[in-house]
């Protein structure tokens, strides 16, 4: 080994590689997992956590789970008790009820058609380069809900009438969530404008409305809509249970929407308002052409987040006796033949809710990054 | 030209038509809206009066004084039986709500801070586990999580005779959690007084230490002194009074546990679900708060000669808290509101007791829903008052 230090002429020293312990997989492990005694301890704790949690979860969902079969007998042990893992035949057998409730078989095409229409329009709106975005959006926001109403309840255009008590499952969850969000948007915009208005009476009313709804839990709003609304109406006027729940959900989410929109309005610089006024625009024109397009674009992530919250909150309607997705899971697991498989139902429900909410939150973050054009 | 301008300037301002005058318009709109509101309100009140009269439902809060006649499964703070009034049932429900919210807030804060800090850990595995925790928990509806804890976990535990135990004193089975209960004997008040004395002494010590530091610049270790006093004073009192407290054990007699403290599975499931769910949101708030403090702050404080401990305590945490506290209080408010989901698993909180049983018995929907909503509104009002106070106290003092 050459112990003598070599000397180089200035500028002739060869490039040297970094020490092997700081690059590649080895370097990564050293810096991220084993950089200090505390870090090593944390890594051990983490490995233990993974060891303790992941195998049981995987076993429950996949390896120990029963995949084939069409009745509950395949999922029972010799003693008759349920197996200690997921029993996917439970989901298979109840799939129709979990998805559509008790909606008549012959009429399911109406729901599927609406899903197709919705998916098609959303794709057309979100994918860049597809023409007619404006008209698709208008269709989605204004025409589609009306169309869905006639499709789902029937009773006209030769479609047979389907009572709302037969609606259920994931279908009902989606109906409530989407009605809530689409109906609450205009109300929320009006409330937000009212809250920023200079007229004291209107401002006070809007503040009172928003703070009232935001201060109480949704469950009390649903109770109120199911027991108090009938008292408010004149004799003989009787609203459907679903409509009452929808009114409650809409008013509730409108208050949250108003706060989201107000955030957007506050973020618009004053110069935009002054510029619009200097151009001689009146209030509706100023809002429509100048303020709202900027404000609403800014609050799209907030609207999506409100929607995620609303989507999760729709589970509460099972408390007032509507059979949404979770309500259907509950009721299926109380069926005498399928007693003891409630965990499978929850696992499936959790999976579905998670996929919906997670993809929406990723979408909202994507939009946020896209809109974040500043520095 | 100039002469004309002057005459215009001196003349009266041009008359505006009434419908173009902004003030007149505003007045007009407000009168219209107010009129519409009064009309709708009148319509609703009128209908309600008619409906109530037709259905023979009494109105007013007189029913609160009548006998309730139903039992409540869990009432840890107040004696309650079927002969008590509706008012007492209301108080029991309120206390149960406050109990579950209080425990939930405590655990949610602890778990949330741990997960939030773990999310920022240098250790890749720990950071990823925290991320997975957050993304799973906050994207699944709370009601489903409550159901999983209650029906999926606690209700499927073995029965009392095969219950799991911790050190043979705390037992967990499908009827709930059973633990020894502290029973206070005579002389326990001395310990409480000693504790209070310690608290007052700490307040004075802190003032004195601050004055001394202002005058001489010498720092007194307030934290450790306070900590020591808080332990030593009650301990001293306890030794003098010969420990006037015993644990009442719980034991299996017949088919269930008796004696000691019983925590029903509903309460356990509810607090578990509420605190783990809210913790996921708190973790994100904590992370945002810590990352919001500029690295320059740490560097500047090192440059001033502060050691890492004081840097964290005097520079980073106060600034992070300014970002963390407002959304944190709104999460506490959310947790309190979400505790109303208790009704779904029959934990007797205010919504279940009042919105369920009492409403069914009396039919006085308006009074009952107003009481429940009033309670939650009061809580949110108190929390937002605290927030305003805190914000004004903590707001950056700018030039």
Residue of A nearest to B350 (CA): A220
Out of A202, A223, A235, name the one closest to residue B33 (CB).
A202
Same domain, yes or no: B351 and B227: no
Residue B19 lies in a domain: no
Low-confidence ranges of chain A (pLDDT < 50): 1, 375
Interchain contact, A199 vs B26, CB within 8 Å: yes
- How confident is the model over B323-364, as pLDDT tens digits? 888 888 889 989 999 999 888 888 888 888 888 888 888 878
Instruction: Please list every residue in chain B whose beta carbon sits closer than 8 Å to the beta carbon of residue A34.
Output: none
Same domain, yes or no: B127 and B166: yes
Q: Does A95 touch chain B (CB under 8 A)?
A: no
Residue B397 lies in a domain: no
Out of A198, A220, A319, name the one closest to residue B369 (CB).
A220
Interchain contact, B144 vs A361, CB within 8 Å: no
Q: How many CB pairs under 8 A join A and B?
A: 149
Global pTM value: 0.84
pLDDT given at position A3: 55
CA distance A152 to chain B (A): 26
DSSP string of A256-296, one letter each residue = HHHHHHHHHHHHS-HHHHHHHHHTT--HHHIIIIIIHHHHH
Same domain, yes or no: B215 and B92: no
Interchain contact, B377 vs A228, CB within 8 Å: no
- What's the rounded Cα separation, in Å, for the pair A309 and A218? 11
Instruction: Please list every residue in chain B whose beta carbon sits closer than 8 Å to the beta carbon of residue A217.
Output: 337-338, 340, 351, 376
Strand arrangement of the beta sheet that strand B164-166 belongs to: B164-166, B170-173, B176-179, B261-263
- For residue B386, report the phi and psi dihedrals to the nearest 5 degrees: -60, -40
Residue B338 lies in a domain: yes
Number of domains comprising chain B: 2
- How confident is the model over A117-153, as pLDDT tens digits? 888 888 888 787 777 778 888 888 888 888 888 888 8
Out of A32, A201, A315, name the one closest to residue B141 (CB).
A315
Same domain, yes or no: B301 and B371: yes
DSSP string of B93-105, one letter each residue = HHHHHHHHHHHHH
Same domain, yes or no: B238 and B157: no
pLDDT given at position B131: 93
Which among B198, B214, B247 is the end of a domain? B247
Same domain, yes or no: B267 and B362: yes
Q: B-contacting residues of A 312-351, CB under 8 Å?
A: 312-313, 315-316, 318-319, 326, 330, 342-343, 346, 349-350
pLDDT given at position B398: 57
Q: Do A323 and A173 form a contact (C-beta atoms < 8 A)?
A: no
Instruction: Please list every residue in chain A whose beta carbon sits closer than 8 Å to the beta carbon of residue B142.
Output: 312, 315
Residue of B nearest to A350 (CA): B140
Same domain, yes or no: B139 and B272: yes
- What's the rounded Cα separation, in Å, for the pair B75 and B89? 9
Residue of A nearest to B148 (CA): A346
pLDDT given at position B13: 65
In this structure, which long-range contacts are made by residues A142-146, counting pairs with CB atoms below 8 Å and at least 24 apart in sequence?
A: A144/A114, A144/A117, A144/A118, A145/A178, A145/A179, A145/A182
Same domain, yes or no: B109 and B203: no
CA distance B287 to chain A (A): 17
Please, which residues bridge with residue B263 across strands? B177
Instruction: Give kind and range of the element (H or E) at residue A129.
Output: none
Helix, coil or strand: residue B178: strand
Same domain, yes or no: B369 and B226: no
CA distance B385 to chain A (A): 13
Range of the domain at B322: 86-180+249-389
What's the CATH number for A88-103+162-371? 1.10.3720.10
pLDDT given at position A122: 83
Indicate which of B144, B273, B384 best probes the interface with A, i.e. most A CBs within 10 Å of its own CB: B144
pLDDT given at position B1: 46
Which among B247, B281, B297 is the end of a domain? B247
Helix, coil or strand: residue A327: helix
Q: Do B66 and B347 form a contact (C-beta atoms < 8 A)?
A: no
Interchain contact, A39 vs B123, CB within 8 Å: yes
Residue B396 lies in a domain: no
CA distance A11 to chain B (A): 36
ipTM of the predicted assembly exceeds 0.85: yes
Low-confidence ranges of chain B (pLDDT < 50): 1-2
Which among B247, B276, B301 is the end of a domain? B247
Same domain, yes or no: B255 and B309: yes
CA distance B169 to chain A (A): 26
Instruction: Give kind and range of the element (H or E) at residue B116.
Output: helix B86-119
Instruction: Please list every residue in chain B whose beta carbon sits closer than 8 Å to the beta carbon of residue A346.
Output: 144, 147-148, 151-152
- How confident is the model over B248-278, as pLDDT tens digits? 777 777 667 776 778 888 898 999 999 999 9
Q: B-contacting residues of A 37-76, CB under 8 Å?
A: 39, 42-43, 45-47, 49-50
Of B23, B282, A112, the C-alpha closest to B31 is B23
Q: Do A74 and A93 form a contact (C-beta atoms < 8 A)?
A: no
Interchain contact, A46 vs B126, CB within 8 Å: yes
- What's the rounded Cα separation, in Å, for the pair B176 and B163? 10
Same domain, yes or no: B162 and B283: yes
Residue of A nearest to B373 (CA): A216
Q: Identify the CATH number of the domain in which residue B124 sits.
A: 1.10.3720.10
In this structure, which long-range contacts are made by residues B132-138, counting pairs with CB atoms below 8 Å and at least 24 apart in sequence?
A: B133/B280, B133/B283, B134/B280, B134/B283, B134/B284, B135/A358, B136/A354, B137/B276, B137/B277, B137/B279, B137/B280, B138/A357, B138/B277, B138/B280, B138/B281, B138/B284
- What's the rounded Cα separation, in Å, for the pair B331 and B347? 22
Indicate which of B139, B284, B346 best probes the interface with A, i.e. most A CBs within 10 Å of its own CB: B139
The token pair at A196 is 């920023």
- For residue B256, report the phi and psi dihedrals to the nearest 5 degrees: -145, 170
Dihedral over alpha carbons A114, A120, A121, A127 (to 10 degrees): 160
Domain ranges of chain A: 24-63, 88-103+162-371
Same domain, yes or no: B261 and B317: yes
- How confident is the model over B94-104, as pLDDT tens digits? 999 999 999 99
């Amino acid at each position: 080994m050459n112990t003598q230090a070599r000397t180089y002429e200035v500028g002739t020293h060869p490039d040297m590689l970094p020490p092997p312990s700081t690059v590649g997989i080895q370097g990564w492990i050293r810096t991220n997992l084993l950089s200090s005694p505390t870090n090593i301890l944390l890594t051990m704790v983490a490995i233990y956590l993974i060891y303790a949690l992941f195998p049981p979860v995987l076993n429950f969902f996949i390896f120990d789970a029963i995949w084939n079969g069409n009745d509950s007998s395949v999922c029972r042990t010799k003693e008759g008790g349920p197996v200690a893992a997921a029993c996917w035949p439970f989901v298979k057998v109840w799939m129709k009820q979990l998805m559509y409730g008790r909606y008549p078989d012959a009429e399911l095409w109406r729901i599927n058609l609406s899903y197709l229409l919705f998916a098609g329009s959303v794709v057309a709106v979100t994918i860049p380069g597809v023409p007619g975005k404006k008209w698709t959006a208008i269709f989605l926001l204004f025409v589609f809900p009306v169309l869905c109403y006639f499709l789902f309840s029937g009773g006209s255009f030769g479609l047979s009438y389907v009572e709302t008590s037969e609606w259920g499952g994931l279908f009902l969850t989606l109906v409530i969530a989407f009605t809530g969000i689409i109906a609450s948007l205009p109300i929320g915009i009006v409330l937000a404008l009212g809250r920023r208005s200079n007229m004291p009476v209107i401002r006070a009313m809007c503040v009172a409305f928003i703070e009232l709804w935001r201060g109480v839990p949704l469950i009390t709003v649903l109770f109120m809509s199911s027991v108090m609304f009938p008292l408010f109406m004149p004799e003989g006027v009787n609203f459907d249970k679903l409509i009452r729940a929808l009114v409650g959900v809409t008013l509730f989410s409108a208050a949250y929407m108003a706060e989201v929109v107000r955030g957007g309005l506050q973020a618009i610089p004053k110069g935009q308002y002054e510029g619009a006024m200097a151009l001689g625009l009146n209030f509706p024109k100023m809002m429509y052409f100048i303020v709202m397009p900027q404000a609403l674009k800014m609050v799209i992530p907030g609207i999506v987040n409100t929607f995620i919250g609303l989507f999760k909150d729709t589970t509460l309607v099972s408390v007032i006796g509507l059979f949404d997705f979770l309500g259907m899971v509950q009721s299926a697991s109380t069926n005498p033949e399928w007693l003891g498989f409630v965990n499978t139902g929850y696992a499936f429900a959790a999976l579905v809710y998670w996929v919906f909410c997670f993809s929406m939150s990723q979408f909202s973050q994507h939009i946020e990054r896209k809109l974040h054009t500043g520095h | 030209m100039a002469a004309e301008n002057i005459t215009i300037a001196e003349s009266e301002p041009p008359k505006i038509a009434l419908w173009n005058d902004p003030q007149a318009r505003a007045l007009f709109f407000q009168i219209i809206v107010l009129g519409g509101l009064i009309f709708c309100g009148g319509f609703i009140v009128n209908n309600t009066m008619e409906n109530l009269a037709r259905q023979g439902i009494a109105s007013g809060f007189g029913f609160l004084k009548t006998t309730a006649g139903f039992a409540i499964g869990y009432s840890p703070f107040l004696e309650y039986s079927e002969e008590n009034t509706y008012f007492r049932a209301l108080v029991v429900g309120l206390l149960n709500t406050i109990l579950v919210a209080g425990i939930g807030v405590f655990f949610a804060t602890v778990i949330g801070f741990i997960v939030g800090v773990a999310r920022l850990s240098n250790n890749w595995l720990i950071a990823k586990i925290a991320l997975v925790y957050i993304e799973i928990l906050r994207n699944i509806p709370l009601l489903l999580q409550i159901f999983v804890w209650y029906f999926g976990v606690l209700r499927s535990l073995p029965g009392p005779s095969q219950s799991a135990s911790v050190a043979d004193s705390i037992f967990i089975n499908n009827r709930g959690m059973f633990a020894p209960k502290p029973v206070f004997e005579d002389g326990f008040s001395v310990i409480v007084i000693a504790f209070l004395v310690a608290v007052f002494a700490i307040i004075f010590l802190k003032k004195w230490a601050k004055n001394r530091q202002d005058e001489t610049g010498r720092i007194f270790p307030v934290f450790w002194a306070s900590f020591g006093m808080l332990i030593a004073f009650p301990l001293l009192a306890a030794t003098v009074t010969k420990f006037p407290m015993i644990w009442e054990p719980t034991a299996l007699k017949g088919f269930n546990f008796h004696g000691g403290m019983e925590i029903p599975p509903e309460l356990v499931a509810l607090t578990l679900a509420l605190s783990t769910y809210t913790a996921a949101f708190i973790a994100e708030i904590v992370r945002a708060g810590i990352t919001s403090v500029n690295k320059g702050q740490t560097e500047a404080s090192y440059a001033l000669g502060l050691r890492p401990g004081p840097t964290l305590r005097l520079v980073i945490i106060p600034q992070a808290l300014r970002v963390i506290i407002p959304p944190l209080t709104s999460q506490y408010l959310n947790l309190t509101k979400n505790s109303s989901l208790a009704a779904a698993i029959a934990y007797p909180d205010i919504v279940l007791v009042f919105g369920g049983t009492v409403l069914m018995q009396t039919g006085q929907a308006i009074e009952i829903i107003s009481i429940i909503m009033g309670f939650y509104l009061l809580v949110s009002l108190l929390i937002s008052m605290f927030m305003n106070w805190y914000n004004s106290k903590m707001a950056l003092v700018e030039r």
